[in-house]
């Protein structure tokens, strides 16, 4: 096997073990400012090897891992791409959300851990709906993460998922086919989709784009790789798309039905006013696991 320099997953002069390569990769990623360098280096190695690192003997090398002589070169290439802040999920093709492992790829928003509490609020509301066949609609579904969490955690629910971006729909279609084929995926505008369901839905949930135009994300992975359509909500306050979602939810929901919608921490008061102005009652701001204002829940009056 050819030797590789220290910065590419090996040390000059000898063949290194997988664990040594992972430690070297973690140092490179840390120097580049990657937030979780040790975890990312390990996950990239496990992706290349097709197995968990703890299953390998301590002295295992890439060329003896039953995957061919190019494994170390593949690992080094992925580490370099991650060093340049390409999202980990794009490199591995997978992302975790609640109990699911979803397909990920360019063109679809990389789902964040804080959205898991939004999904949980929707799941709890649907479980309390009391309908023989509870119905949920996920507007701006992206990769399908929330819709699939709802469908798999509320057995028997009828779940519809709406997404405007063809690229995101392609990713969502893969996830629906793999995880919950019963989910009804619709390529369309959240502001007008599913008119046939007006007045019959138990829960509408959404993680719409909501970033104002001047609030460019600090994270390189978000700023340079997440699609603008999934980030910027339109209007000076970033709330044009959330306004459309709230208006559509007001028509979709049955009396007593519940809206759950994610927003930015600084938008909590504005979103409460927006939802109240649309005729919803019991309007409450929910927090994520870090205590930040993250989403709104509200009930359609009646």
Instruction: Quote the percentage of the chain above a pLDDT of 90.
Output: 69
Residues 79 and 105 in one domain: no
Higher pLDDT, 73 or 159: 159
Q: Are residues 241 and 289 in the same domain?
A: yes
Determine the pLDDT at residue 110: 87
Q: Are residue 185 and residue 141 in the same domain, yes or no?
A: yes
The b-or-e profile of 29-38 (16+ CB within 10 A means b, else e) is bbeeebeebe
| Shared domain check, 294 and 219 | yes
On whether both 17 and 109 belong to a single domain, the answer is: no
Task: Say which DSSP state 112 is in.
Answer: -
Least trusted range by pLDDT, from 70-79, 216-225, 231-240? 216-225
Encoded tokens for 262: 């994610």
Q: Is the pLDDT of residue 11 over 80?
A: no
Which one is predicted more confidently, 36 or 3?
36
Residue 175 annotated in ligand binding? no
- Domain co-membership, 13 together with 133: no
Please indicate, yes or no, whether residues 235 and 118 belong to a single structural domain of this protein.
Answer: yes
Pairwise pLDDT comparison (139 vs 14), residue with the higher score: 139
pLDDT at 169: 96
Tell me what the mean pLDDT of segment 184-209 comes to.
Answer: 97
Length of the chain: 302
* 20 has binding-site annotation: no
What are 82-95's pLDDT values in tens digits? 998 989 998 999 99
- 22 is in which domain, residue-wise? 6-84
Please give the pLDDT value at position 165. 92
- The per-residue pLDDT for range 126-177, each reduced to its tens digit, is 999 989 999 999 999 999 999 999 999 999 999 999 999 999 999 999 999 9
Tell whether 208 is in a known binding site: yes
The 10s digit of each residue's pLDDT in 23-72 is 999 999 999 999 899 999 999 999 999 999 888 888 888 876 555 558 88
281 shares a domain with 163: yes
101 and 215 housed in the same domain: yes
What integer is the mean pLDDT of 94-112? 91
Q: Are residues 70 and 125 in the same domain?
A: no
**Residue 210 annotated as part of some ligand binding site:** yes
Q: Are residues 105 and 144 in the same domain?
A: yes
Domain end residue (candidates: 84, 114, 141): 84
Q: What CATH number does the domain containing 152 carry?
A: 3.40.50.150
CA angle 257, 259, 261 (to 5 degrees): 170
What the block records as the tokens of 301 is: 């009056």
Whether residue 134 is contained in a domain is answered as yes
Average pLDDT over residues 164-193: 96
Write out the DSSP string of 237-294.
TS-HHHHHHHHHHHHHEEEEEEEEEE--GGGHHHHHHHHHHTTEEEEEEEE-TTS-EE
Residue 39 lies in a domain: yes
Its pTM surpasses 0.85: yes
Do 202 and 280 lie in one domain? The reply is yes
Among 124, 190, 115, CA closest to 145: 115
Is the Cα torsion angle 32, 33, 37, 40 positive or negative in sign? Answer: negative
pLDDT at 173: 97
The neighbouring-strand residues paired with 139 are: 162, 206
| Residue 190: per-residue pLDDT | 95
Confirm or deny that 163 is annotated as ligand binding: yes
Q: Select from 55, 84, 113 the last residue of a domain.
A: 84
DSSP-H helix ranges across 14-96: 18-31, 37-49, 71-83, 88-92
151 located within any domain: yes
Domain end point (choices 49, 84, 119):
84
Residue 1 within any structural domain of the chain: no
Within a domain: residue 89? no
Residue 150: inside a domain: yes
- Per-residue pLDDT, 189: 95
Q: Report the number of distinct structural domains present in the chain.
A: 2
């Amino acid at each position: 096997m050819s030797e590789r320099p220290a910065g590419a997953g090996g040390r000059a002069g000898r063949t290194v073990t997988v664990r040594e390569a992972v430690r070297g990769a973690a140092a490179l990623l840390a120097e580049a400012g990657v937030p979780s360098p040790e975890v990312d280096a390990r996950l990239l190695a496990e992706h290349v090897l097709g197995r968990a690192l703890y299953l390998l003997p301590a002295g295992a090398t890439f060329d003896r891992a039953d995957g061919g002589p190019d494994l170390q070169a593949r690992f080094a290439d992925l580490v370099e791409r991650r060093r340049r802040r390409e999202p980990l999920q794009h490199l591995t093709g997978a992302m975790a959300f609640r109990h699911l492992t979803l397909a990920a790829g360019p063109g679809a928003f990389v789902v964040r851990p804080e959205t898991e509490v939004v999904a949980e609020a929707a799941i709890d509301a649907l479980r309390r709906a009391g309908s023989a066949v509870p119905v949920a609609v996920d507007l701006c579904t992206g990769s399908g993460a929330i819709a699939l969490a709802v469908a798999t955690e509320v057995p028997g629910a009828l779940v519809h998922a709406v997404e405007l971006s063809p690229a995101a729909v392609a990713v969502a279609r893969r996830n629906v086919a793999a995880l919950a084929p019963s989910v009804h995926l619709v390529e369309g505008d959240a502001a007008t989709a599913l008119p046939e369901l007006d007045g019959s839905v138990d829960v509408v949930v959404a993680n719409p784009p909501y970033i104002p135009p001047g609030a460019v994300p600090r994270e390189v992975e978000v700023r340079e790789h997440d699609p603008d359509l999934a980030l910027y909500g339109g209007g000076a306050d970033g709330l044009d798309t959330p306004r459309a979602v709230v208006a559509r939810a007001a028509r979709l929901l049955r009396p007593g039905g519940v809206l759950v919608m994610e927003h930015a921490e600084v938008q909590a008061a504005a979103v409460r006013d927006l939802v109240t102005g649309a005729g919803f009652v019991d309007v409450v701001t929910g927090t994520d696991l870090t205590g930040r204002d993250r989403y709104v829940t509200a009930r359609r009056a009646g």
